[in-house]
Amino acid sequence: MRLVLAAVLVVMGVGCAHGLSNEARLDAETTAPAGSSHIDALRCRDGSPEVQLARDAKAPKGDRLARYDSVLKQVKETQEQFDEEFRRDPDLVYGAQADGWKHRQQLCTDLMAAFERERKALQGDVAPAAFEPEPVKVAAPGVEDEKPGKVSKVKAKKDKLAKAKKRSKERLARAD
């Protein structure tokens, strides 16, 4: 009888001490996303050596076009990796560092557009002296508008002041 009672207590004790609870496992999985180390390495750079060689006006046109193709392929792959990481871990899009990640992704999109313009200009035989690569303009995170179609109040005010200043200069020029 004592043996049976001891065996029942051992079985019950083993059944209750089964390790982590479901909540503990869920917390452990959500606090350290598996793919976050991959996204830290994702960057699109305008100053990479491949880009500099593609923009070199002294290089043969065929080499430059091949380098632009290579650069565009790399930027597209990086863009796709951002999309994949955002799909895998929605916390990257909606979490505390979401603005930084979206800023990096937007930089890749802008660079891709700039490289495609430069490549098309090169294909169209634009004179190297007349062609200057356009600097990529990306707003800093947190400065972007809520709605993409709306102009920010600050920008509208700056435009209004610039127009007023221009009109006053024109009036002064006519008065002289």
Segment 120-144, tens digit of pLDDT: 998 886 544 445 555 555 555 554 4
CA 118-122-125 angle, to 5 degrees, is: 145
Q: Is residue 14 part of a domain?
A: no
Residues 169 and 132 in one domain: no
Residues 82 and 160 in one domain: no
Of 73, 87, 72, 71, nearest in space to 38 by CA: 87
**Residue range(s) defining the domain that contains residue 113:** 20-142
Amino acid in position 81: Q
Residues 103 and 162 in one domain: no
Mean pLDDT of 8-32: 64
Kindly indicate the confidence band of residue 116, based on its pLDDT and cuts at 50, 70 and 90. very high
Residues 66 and 128 in one domain: yes
Residues 81 and 158 in one domain: no
Residues 116 and 176 in one domain: no
Domain tally for the chain? 2
Residues 103 and 171 in one domain: no
Residues 94 and 149 in one domain: no
Q: Please tell me the distance from the alpha carbon of residue 152 to that of residue 157, in angstroms, as a whole number.
A: 9
pLDDT: is 29 or 124 the higher one? 124
pLDDT, one tens digit per residue, over 52-105 is 888 888 989 899 999 999 999 998 998 888 888 888 888 777 877 888 888 888
For 57, residues 6+ apart whose C-beta sits below 8 A from its C-beta are 128, 129, 131
pLDDT: is 171 or 150 the higher one? 171
Residues 124 and 150 in one domain: no
For 20, residues 6+ apart whose C-beta sits below 8 A from its C-beta are 28
Q: Please tell me the distance from the alpha carbon of residue 97 to that of residue 62, in angstroms, as a whole number.
A: 41
Residue 73 pLDDT: 92
- Cα–Cα distances in Å, from 128 out to 49, 60, 117, 149, 162? 19, 12, 14, 35, 33
Please state the pTM of the whole predicted model. 0.49
The pair of structure tokens assigned to 62 is 């065929």
